[in-house]
Amino acid sequence: MSRRLPLVLLPVALIMALVLGYYIWQASDGLPGLGRVVSEGTPSIGGPFTLIDQDGRKRSSADFRGRYMLIYFGYSYCPDVCPTTLALMGDALAKVDPKGARIVPIFITIDPERDTSARMKAYVRAFGPQFVGLTGDVKTIGKVAGDYRVYFTKHPLDGGNYGMDHSSVIFLMGPDGKFIGYWDDTAIGPDKLAQELREKT
């Protein structure tokens, strides 16, 4: 075997290494370890939580095992989107499970500084008797919202008050607490949501 052969093969080996590297890079959705997208099975949305309900009692995610949770994050001072979405959830559930025997609608505030238990009680009552309103301390709420990939931030309003910008997504979690699916609240009406809830629960 000639000692020159490896030199001749060097450009070929380099090209092969580049092609292979390119495919590995593509397959890993970018540079390994940097913003890599992992997509195996169910996406990791949600997680255990312990918060305070509208009656001031501790409520944990484990308390809802055996029932589906229909979860929405928002805040009671929201001028339009939150009440519209909660009404949509209430309307859909009135058609599918009006007593909340199988599906519990849960409103989690992302504005715990103003949304006390008492305020949540008065607020959620308007959307249906089966609604659960959850609040907590700022840190815990931040953790739960993060587990659901819910984004929120304060924005100042004229007069010294503030509003909240926030993701607006309705989550469906299974009787085991695991993520089943979600809806963009602006893209679905009560009839369609009711139909999909019938199919998925």
Which residues of the chain form contacts with Ni ion (CB under 5 A)?
74, 78, 81-82
For Ni ion, the closer of residues 86 and 103 by Cβ is 86
Nearer to Ni ion, 97 or 135 (CB): 135
Q: Which letter, b or e, does each residue of 63-85 get, where b requires 16 or more Cβ atoms within 10 Å of its Cβ?
A: ebeebbbbbbbbbbbbeeebeeb
Q: Can you point out the beta strands (E) in 17-83?
A: 50-52, 58-60, 68-74
d(CA 135, CA 143): 12
Q: Which is nearer to Ni ion, 64 or 77 (CB)?
A: 77
Number of residue whose CB is nearest Ni ion: 78
CA angle, corner 152, sides to 151 and 153, nearest 5?
A: 140
Which residue's CB is nearer to Ni ion, number 79 or number 159?
79
In whole angstroms, how close is the CB of 78 to Ni ion at the nearest point?
A: 3
Q: How far is the CB of 47 from Ni ion (least distance, A)?
A: 22
Shortest Cβ distance from residue 40 to Ni ion (Å)?
A: 32
CB of 110 to Ni ion, least distance (A): 8
Residue with tokens 């739960």: 144
Contact 107, 124 (CB under 8 A): yes
